[in-house]
Amino acid sequence: MHVIAGVDPGATIGVSCISLDGKVVLSAHGSGKGAMWVVEVIRKAGTPSLIASDKHKKGSLVKKVGAIFNARVFYPYKDISLEEKKAFARASSIKNPHERDALAAAIYAFNEYKNKLMQAERIALEKNYENIDEIKAKVLNRYSIDEALHNKRANRK
């Protein structure tokens, strides 16, 4: 399963993973943990297509986790507000503020690509592709839908 992993760095780290359909798969937090702990938590959920932050400023932990997975890193164009984070968390059972912030990062990233993911799913279903999750993961990794469906990249400059 491919996931979007939200990471909230700090003294207490929050991690939240959602499916490429936007459903919460896993959420955890830990004090005094580092990048390898984050990697272990994410691996329990699946293969990350995106590592997301709730902050516009590019943090080193988020970049490091992205590099370990060779996954794209998503930063919002502006910091996600506390009100937005609370709104995202209301739809889930997450109460911990670090997990909430990580979930907000993952959902915010998902929402940025939601229309393209839905389009990829619709086209893949029309063409009877079985592994729609893989098609969506490729689209998140900057493949066009056609490239994802045919499993090849066009020569781009």
Tell me if residue 6 falls in helix, strand or coil.
strand
% residues pLDDT > 70 (the chain) = 97
Does residue 62 contact residue 87 with C-beta atoms inside 8 Å? Answer: no
Residue type, 87: A
Instruction: Give CA–CA dist 133/131, Å, rounded.
Output: 5
Alpha carbon separation from 153 to 131, 137, 140, 157 (Å, rounded): 18, 14, 13, 12
What are 69-128's pLDDT values in tens digits? Answer: 999 999 999 999 999 998 888 878 888 999 999 999 999 999 999 999 999 999 999 999
Mean of the per-residue pLDDT values for the chain? Answer: 92
Is the per-residue pLDDT at 18 higher than 80? yes
Give the pLDDT mean for 48-69.
94
Predicted model pTM? 0.92
Angle at 25 between CA 59 and CA 127, to 5 degrees: 105
Domain boundaries, the chain: 2-113
Tell the CATH topology of 2-113: Nucleotidyltransferase; domain 5 (3.30.420)
pLDDT of residue 92: 83
Does residue 42 contact residue 90 with C-beta atoms inside 8 Å? Answer: no
